[in-house]
Structure 1
């Protein structure tokens, strides 16, 4: 169950504490940062928190740009027949903000800085990939659910050695009506050129989180924790 945070960090957020006794005494909890899609809010991802490994401290953050009541984003995007048009400056500020917020959350909640995972849906997934590629020293792994890889990120990607073996999961629906499957396949092909540990899954679904896709993400994250236990 998520609770409103008592820490005033740079992004509003809600928290699910690790289960009592889930982590060995004297150890810091791993951190899972959840990022929502454009036009949504932190509550949409916080609702998924019970599905994730009880060892995680789960933080669901609200994007900083206000679009309307209970509607937020990291950057403005316009959907056109020719493709999605984004505000590039806002996007760059967004992925930098994610990295900065990771530092804030680790310090505020006493999480393990070596086991920080960022998982997002749609625009949140875009930010998760961008943050990992540009700030891998802060992030152990990333999950993109129904997202894409912004070409604008690539000139800012960290050196290959800093990205080596960083685990990345891309999950996308073959029937995605908002961010077509071709965007996920393009992301897969581009990410494969980096020395990442990439897992790619296509599922029969649209632009949404299903129980099947959530199970894939949860199992993948648990496996990452088991590797570093």
Structure 2
């Protein structure tokens, strides 16, 4: 069964979906409050889907169980990566996309979004997905399993619009790690709409305004 979700529909019978993945230790309610700031009257009906990650022990937090898309084993996020957990969560994201398909929303009308660990999963799942998504929205994140992405990525999402926002003072996912990940993808030919903001590990009002404009472009150019 797909993961439990928190959902918000802007109109009855939505024709678009945004699947938004939360960060480590948060849950599906984390980004619900920004929906009113994002929605524009010009948009078609959109279903925002905020899934709850599975609860699992997290090594960096002394093994305390919490909602996490995968384990974090050390301070250096790119080292000792939990490949098994990441791949299991890729399958969970694929199931969420399939659930939206079953509800009448084609993959071409689905935006995959995420913050921090959720943003890392947006890249991991989105770039490997076998059908073209409407867009990838990555916030304060990095690219996990960067050494296998070339072999495992799927051509279907090579040209998918990709928004990436990052704080210049982020102490959790350092800006340098985000930049290295962006450069890795650019070396493979991906075009990234990259934005930085004077903030820490968070989402700011200027970033929300930029996300709104980017989503509006996705919903009106299809």
Question: TM (normalized to structure 1)?
Answer: 0.83
- Unaligned 5+ runs, structure 1: 1-8, 21-26
When structure 1 is superposed on structure 2, of 45-54 and 88-97 the one drifting more is 45-54
1:168 aligns with 2:162: yes
User: CA 1:67 to 1:139, structure 2 compared with 1: closer, same or farther past 3 Å?
Assistant: farther
How many residue pairs get matched? 211
Q: Secondary structure at the match of 2:107?
A: coil
Alignment of 1:1-229 (within 5 A): 9-19=1-11, 29-53=15-39, 54-55=43-44, 56-67=46-57, 71-80=66-75, 85-107=80-102, 109-137=103-131, 139-150=133-144, 151-154=146-149, 155-159=151-155, 162-228=156-222
RMSD over aligned Cα atoms: 2.4
CA contact (8 A) 1:11 1:62 kept: yes
User: CA 1:217 to 1:135, structure 2 compared with 1: closer, same or farther past 3 Å?
Assistant: same
2:82 and 2:65 map into 1 onto residues whose CA distance is 21
Question: TM (normalized to structure 2)?
Answer: 0.85
> What is the CA distance between 1:28 and its match in structure 2?
5.5
Q: Deviations over 1:61-93 (max 9, x none)?
A: 111234599941110103426865431110111
User: CA 1:70 to 1:60, structure 2 compared with 1: closer, same or farther past 3 Å?
Assistant: farther
CA contact (8 A) 1:33 1:118 kept: yes
CA contact (8 A) 2:134 2:218 kept: no
Q: Secondary structure at the match of 1:118?
A: strand
CA contact (8 A) 2:20 2:113 kept: yes
Q: Deviations over 1:189-222 (max 9, x none)?
A: 1121334342001111100111121221121111
The equivalent residue for 1:24 is: none
CA contact (8 A) 2:128 2:157 kept: no
- Unaligned 5+ runs, structure 2: 59-63
> What is the CA distance between 1:112 and its match in structure 2?
3.5
User: CA 1:61 to 1:70, structure 2 compared with 1: closer, same or farther past 3 Å?
Assistant: farther
> What is the CA distance between 1:124 and its match in structure 2?
0.5
